[in-house]
Copies of this chain bind each other. A is one copy, B any other.
Amino acid sequence: MLEVSISQSGVSEVVLVQRDGQDDLVPDLSAELVAVVTAVDADVPVLLTAGEPERLPAGPLRSDHRSMQSGLSAWVEQQTGHRLGYVEQLYTFADSGRDERRAISVSYLGLTRTTDGPGWQDWYAYFPWEDRRAPSGVVPAAAAMVDDLVRPALDAWVAAGTTDERDRRRRRADICFGLGGRHWSPELALQRYELLYESGAIPEAGTGGPTVPGQAMQSDHRRILATALSRLRAKIQYRPVVFELVPDSFTLGQLQRTVEALAGQPLHKQNFRRLVTGQELVEETGSSSSQTGGRPARLYRFRRDVLDERHVAGTKLPSVR
């Protein structure tokens, strides 16, 4: 049954009322579950694609799925052969109709240890400007790239604004990319992506102009990736999620390089160690590893029992070098 009423405060309104009869008004809508599954392999942060590098594992929510999470796990397992461990919801997007149908994408972030099998891609293939790791004293390739390619594009975008807009555009560009003497904030990855999109510097924007390097993805999947990266980088600073990415037993050096891989930034060694040990997040296993290239390192394991507590407390991480 359909009921249309028009009235109210000058603006016309349409009201659809669903009566208890049957599914007379089922909207033509589909909900897609999308997974961003991340691991770190040999200091390279990787994500799981469904075969080709331009597609994330995804599938429609079906009525036989007990929950969205279990539906997601089913799709990922079917398309990639992987079982999901840690999973958290990211964001829900409404694809504003490529075709006639309304599509909703509910995206999830998953973390895992295993990186066997095909389909794993380097995160920084999609966001080359985000990896600012480099040996001390060396300028990271990503920084050079920002200087040579991103900055000119943004300068043009700033200049193209109206007189009013220019100031705000300038400040926004500076904050996002650490220009004008500001510092680089790893967790602004999404804001950087959105800025590049708005300024037309990436292919998805469809402006046809010159674009910054970086693998694109179908529909809005690269935006989902950027959302995931921002969230992960922010979260790693106050929740002990790194431990989902390292083996049961690990050295502090391994742990640090894992965080650095995700943060895209070197960390201060001594402070990192002190923070991790000082917070009683880990305990020694008793054995040590001599695979290090230098002095053998003690092996640690994560104290799973802190997971309850750290809802509150947090896991601070030290900044650069």
Report which A residues bind B (CB closer than 8 A): 2, 4, 6, 8-9, 11-19, 23-31, 60-64, 66-68, 78, 81, 89, 91-92, 94, 96-97, 100-102, 104, 106, 168, 171-172, 175, 185, 188, 191, 308-309, 311-312
Who on chain B is nearest to A19 by CB?
B28
Cβ-defined contact, A31 with B78, below 8 A: no
CA distance A307 to B61 in the complex (A): 37
CA distance A96 to B15 in the complex (A): 14
CA distance A4 to B78 in the complex (A): 14
Given contacts A14-B64, A26-B28, 16 further A-B contacts (CB under 8 A): A4-B6, A9-B81, A12-B13, A12-B14, A16-B62, A26-B29, A27-B30, A29-B30, A29-B31, A66-B96, A68-B92, A68-B94, A104-B104, A175-B308, A175-B312, A188-B312
Known: A11-B11, A11-B12. A61 touches B308 (CB 8 A): no
Give every chain B residue within 8 A of A89 (Cβ-Cβ): 91-92
Give every chain B residue within 8 A of A191 (Cβ-Cβ): 311
Known: A12-B8, A30-B29. A171 touches B60 (CB 8 A): no
Q: Nearest-CB distance from A240 to chain B (Å)?
A: 15
User: Which of B8, B97, B312 has a CB less than 8 Å from the CB of A78?
Assistant: B8
User: Which of B9, B16, B172 has a CB less than 8 Å from the CB of A25?
Assistant: B16
Interchain Cβ contacts under 8 Å between A and B, 29 examples: A6-B8, A8-B14, A9-B12, A11-B11, A12-B13, A14-B16, A14-B64, A16-B28, A16-B60, A16-B62, A17-B100, A19-B28, A23-B28, A23-B101, A27-B30, A27-B31, A27-B60, A29-B30, A29-B61, A61-B104, A63-B97, A63-B102, A67-B94, A67-B96, A68-B94, A89-B92, A92-B106, A171-B309, A188-B312
